[in-house]
Chains A and B, each alone.
Chain A
Amino acid sequence: MNMNYMELTEKLVKKCISLGADAAEVYLETGRNLSVQVLNSEIETIEEASSQGVGFRVFTGGRMGFSHCNDFSDLSLEDTISRAIGFAKLSTPDENNVLTDNKGITRVADLYDPGISSEPMDKKIKMALELERLAMKSPGISKSSGAGYSEGESEIFISNSNGILKSYKSTGCSLGVSVVAEKGDQKNTGDEYCSRVFFSDLLPLEKIASSASARAIELIDPVMISTQKAAVIFDPDVVRSLFGGIISALDGQRILQGASFLKDFMNKQCASPLVTIVDDGTISRSLGSAPFDGEGVPTRKIILIENGVIKSFIYNSNAAKRAGTVSTGSASRGGFSSLPGIGTHKVYLQPGKYTPDEIIKNTEKGLLLKEVTGYGVDPVTGNFSGGASGLWIVDGKITHPVKGVTIAGKAPDILNSIDMTGNDIDMNRSFSAPTVRVAGMQIGGK
């Protein structure tokens, strides 16, 4: 079916109004995805599908209602819109229920790779098989948990009764592998993946494979350490475990509700001067980038924390109006079936000047953190606690692996005791950060 979705989206806004809404927004999404999983040199699963869906946000007398469906027949669309209008009557009027009238679109290059779908299926299967074979080659690796290739493309259309009508297409593809290292009764898994907008930007298979096997092997033969306070060096891959909750604490809605430990910190020092955090949805050829957010507001680069000082909270239209400010283009959308929330596009922590080796050499005693489990920082209280594994450092040298310990602290203390940041940032990660050293944290062991 070759429907003109742009026209349909615009037409549906008018339909909402004619059915009784004062104002309306239509968010329509179409997409396609493919995934191949292989295990022990054989195909395990192949999944392929295309799908579509549309969400209606309507306002009557300042009250909001929402509905969604994935059946685009006239009857179903009209019924679904009527449901939203009926539901709006149940809500509480809110003067902050507004739709954007910003017709701008941020120009972001290269969000769509037209070549992904024309790459042959056999090639994608072979890549996954080869990735698994390469990862299994390393000495010490005994089993595979599988390897996979997946891709997706989607097109998003948004229109509202303030006259905006926008769309964009995006793609993504990803390769991943997971292997197991065994020694006696010990087992350790190692995973690595690579995700890109463009198929041709995927990293060489050898690189992904060797990183997965190295992770599985490096924690074999751990030695338990005693409960103590020591430096903790976060590997770039696990920095998110610390900063994920801090980003949530900057959510403008949370701030307004008083449900954030950072609520009183605007323009105040909340972290070491080494901490600068940016959310930038405008980086070309980058996953997470978009010309506009989940409400159609153009995306921009937002400095969240600069040299340890909070510079901006993040807002969608509703929270911004309530706070007396403007949307930061941070309306997130879990797809056509959900209301706009608040989220980030592409967050990175500004790199510092040290190589990871220099950071290790300058650490008298500490844990080089490779894996963190648990919920991370609680955005309400700032409390942090997690399970941890990594490599133990004494006098600037790695001495042995450590597994099954815990790390904990309070986010303000942890943020303020960041005393070294690395120069080793990989901007292709979904959350990009360099190596980060925290001078001292409580470590729980024997």
Chain B
Amino acid sequence: MEKENNRVRDIPRRKFLEMSFKGGILIATTPALLTQLVSCSKGVKASSSLDIDPAILSKAIAKALEKGGDFADVYLENRISRQIIMEESKFRSGLYGISQGAGVRVISGNKTGYAYTDEITEEKLLRAAEVASYVATSGNKVTPAGISVSSRPSFVTVQQPLGEIADEKRIEIIRRADQAAKDYDTRIKMTKIDYNDEVRSRVILNSEGVYLKDELPLLFFIVQAMSDDGKARHMSRERLSRHSGFEIFEQVTPETVAKNAAREAIAMLAAGDAPAGIMDVVMQNGWGGVLVHEAVGHPLEADNIAKGIGAFTGKMGQKVAADCFTMIDDGTIPNARGTINFDDEGTVAQRNVLIEKGVLKGFMTDVLSAKQLSMARTGNGRRESFRYIPIPRMTNTFIDTGKDTPEDILASTKKGIYVQSLSGGSVNPVTGVFNFTCREAYLIENGKKTSPIKGATLIGSCMDVISNIDAVGNDLDFGPGICGKGQAAEVTAGMPTVRIRGINVGGSKA
């Protein structure tokens, strides 16, 4: 899978974070060890070290807090992944992976100590606990609570478990998608199809006594289609993803996914140069929600707020957006790609209203930022794998449904750009300045969608964009993505059709 094509990139230009924390150079020297960015896939459950006696985990917690500290947790993970790649109608390879390990974390005041190990043994866990305890040199000391086996509601139901699916069935899905894309139009010259499924098992024990275990299946299916008519060329993309069993392909057929990709590839062959400058933008419902994911969601993650540098710092309870704008992060939407049951710190997932009718109502917190801000934990403490500390992350983030019809929104827009789908974007969470790139877009002339235009970058600042949304449709929908913030997280972004007045469009036409 080409990571460039599938990531909702977060802060690529914040070189400091890239280079010094989890990337750049370290990616260059120890790539996989630090960045398993796109190792989605699936499997059968093998014998697992996750069955380790919880008493050993308790010992690790006690060791972690030996020198002091306010909180400690142990996180065990086993991920079995499966990927099948088809390019140019050939099955290039199947990839099977097993990854397991454990991380121990200590929080002491504002400090976090973290260490992880690939080997889940008492010796290695105690060693990790000792390393993590390095940060706790003074201050508080808590006594770990006894283990209490906890339960959380599940928002993920599975009818056809991935472990019971024969690989031939997976192959068949890919073949059907390839055929459907090629049958759509002779100008479809190539497809790239990437099938991924995985089962991630987690065990969490923390110093508050919370002990949790669960297993999350995830399926991710990506079809890219390339059109070429001798004059122009376009690579399109369509994705399908849910925490689900194999029944997903009965709900959305591989043909549907492939046809959507092929349709975009053909439509964009006729694309002309985009205009440049500030104009009105109507965005189609669905994955376009990545606009608010980037522009508003990231700045509402509580880590930057706790540091006192986030764009929304000090604005709680204030009017920050237009009256028609309500934004929600909901980790409980049944089977959605961003749904998590409980976050990777054990906090139950919930529906968090972030902005209600234009008023700032909530931030998304993890254990540390909730403590720093004296706020409740919102179930947003997520981690890419045991190799990463949990940080505040989004789940399923969307603009709530409005009352306008999509037809009226378009018809009442004289001139502008109609954005049907986006590749992705990024934001600087401190300044709130964002950008995102159109995949499929059209000119709006006299309230009508007219000629297609080439992928332009749209830019703006988060405060401006949420104040300038003046129409919200009644057609809420979602799309799947991978969000990057030094580490990857599976998310959905959603919205109804919306109109934003005055966005700067990066076109090349004078």
Chain A residues proximal to chain B, CB less than 8 Å: 29, 31-33, 35, 37, 39-40, 42-53, 64-71, 76, 79-80, 83-84, 86-88, 90-92, 94, 121, 143-154, 170-178, 180, 187-189, 191-193, 195, 212, 227, 229, 248, 257-259, 261, 287-288, 333-339, 371-375, 378, 380-381, 383-387, 403-410, 430, 441-446
Contacts and interface: CB of A to CB of B under 8 A. Distances in A.
B93 A339 contact: yes
Interface string B267-299: 000000010111000000000000000000000
Contacts of B94: 65-66, 87-88, 90-91
Contacts of A334: 3, 31-32, 35, 37-38
Interface residues of B, number: 104
Interface string B113-135: 11111110000000010010011
Given A46-B134, A64-B93, A430-B25, A373 B111 contact: no
B84 A404 contact: no
Given A84-B96, A408-B508, A148 B88 contact: no
Contacts of A446: 277-278
Contact of A90 (B84, B128, B504): B84
Given A80-B98, A189-B428, A444-B277, A385 B437 contact: yes
Given A29-B31, A248-B4, 11 more contacts: A31-B29, A33-B26, A45-B112, A46-B135, A49-B115, A68-B96, A154-B29, A259-B233, A373-B459, A385-B508, A408-B506
Interface stretch (B12-20, B337-345, B474-482): B12-20
A172 B29 contact: yes
Contacts of B431: 187-189
Contacts of B433: 373, 387, 403-404
B33 A29 contact: yes
Nearest to A92: B90
A234 B474 CA distance: 44
A372 B88 CA distance: 34
Contacts of B131: 48
A152 to B, nearest CB: 4
Contact of A375 (B36, B95, B189, B423): B423
A51 B311 CA distance: 37
B455 A145 contact: no
A442 B454 CA distance: 14
B506 A145 contact: no
Nearest to A346: B28
Nearest to A128: B20
Contacts of B90: 91-92, 94
A337 B454 contact: no
Given A334-B32, A385-B437, A385-B457, A48 B508 contact: no
Given A192-B16, A408-B276, A87 B234 contact: no
B456 interface: yes
B141 interface: no
Contacts of A151: 26
Given A35-B21, A51-B116, A406 B504 contact: yes
A52 B118 CA distance: 7
Contacts of B251: none
Given A287-B29, A373-B457, A193 B20 contact: yes
B437 A375 contact: yes
Nearest to A37: B21
Nearest to B509: A442
B146 interface: no
Contact of A91 (B30, B93, B435): B93
Contacts of B87: 257
23 contacts: A29-B32, A33-B30, A48-B114, A48-B134, A49-B117, A49-B387, A53-B118, A65-B93, A67-B98, A70-B99, A71-B49, A71-B100, A91-B94, A94-B92, A150-B20, A174-B25, A195-B19, A195-B24, A257-B226, A373-B433, A374-B457, A374-B459, A387-B433
A68 B83 CA distance: 12
The 6 closest A-B pairs by CB, nearest first: A335-B32, A406-B506, A176-B20, A87-B94, A444-B276, A387-B459
Contacts of B59: none
A76 B433 CA distance: 47
Contact of A442 (B13, B15, B276): B276
Contact of A150 (B21, B171, B308, B510): B21
Contacts of A383: 454-455, 508
Contacts of A91: 90-94
Contact of B507 (A29, A88, A170, A408): A408
Contacts of A32: 30
A276 to B, nearest CB: 24
B502 to A, nearest CB: 10
Contact of B504 (A86, A88, A375, A405): A405
From B22, B425, B457, name the one whose CB has the most chain A CB atoms within 10 angstroms: B457
A410 B232 CA distance: 13
B510 A79 contact: no
Contact of B20 (A148, A259, A261): A148
Contacts, number: 353
B96 A406 contact: no
Interface of B: 3-4, 13-17, 19-22, 24-26, 28-39, 46, 49, 84, 87-88, 90-101, 109-119, 128, 131, 134-135, 167-168, 171, 189-190, 226, 228, 232-235, 274, 276-278, 307-309, 311, 387, 389, 423-426, 428, 430-431, 433, 435-437, 454-457, 459-461, 504-510
Contacts of B33: 29, 31, 33, 51-53, 152, 154, 335
A67 B96 contact: yes
Given A383-B455, A430-B25, A47 B115 contact: yes
B116 A193 contact: no
B16 A177 contact: yes
Contacts of A153: 29-30
A407 B228 contact: no
A446 B19 CA distance: 34
Nearest to B26: A152
A53 B32 CA distance: 8
A67 B189 CA distance: 30
Contact of A385 (B38, B189, B278, B506): B506
A320 B252 CA distance: 38
A333 to B, nearest CB: 7
B16 A176 contact: yes
Nearest to B108: A43
A191 B31 contact: no
Contacts of B128: 49
Contacts of B15: 176, 191-193
Nearest to A373: B435
Nearest to B3: A334
Contacts of B274: 385, 408
Contacts of B171: 90
B97 A178 contact: no
A420 B35 CA distance: 38
A338 B27 CA distance: 13
Given A387-B506, A442-B507, A442-B510, A175 B96 contact: no
B118 A445 contact: no
A33 B116 CA distance: 11
B235 A259 contact: yes
Contact of B308 (A33, A64, A143, A333): A143
**Which interface residue of A44, A65, A173, A338 has the most chain B CB atoms within 10 A?**
A338
B39 A371 contact: no
B115 A444 contact: no
Output the residue of B15, B20, B116, B424 with the most chain A CB within 10 A.
B20
A229 B510 contact: yes
Nearest to B171: A90
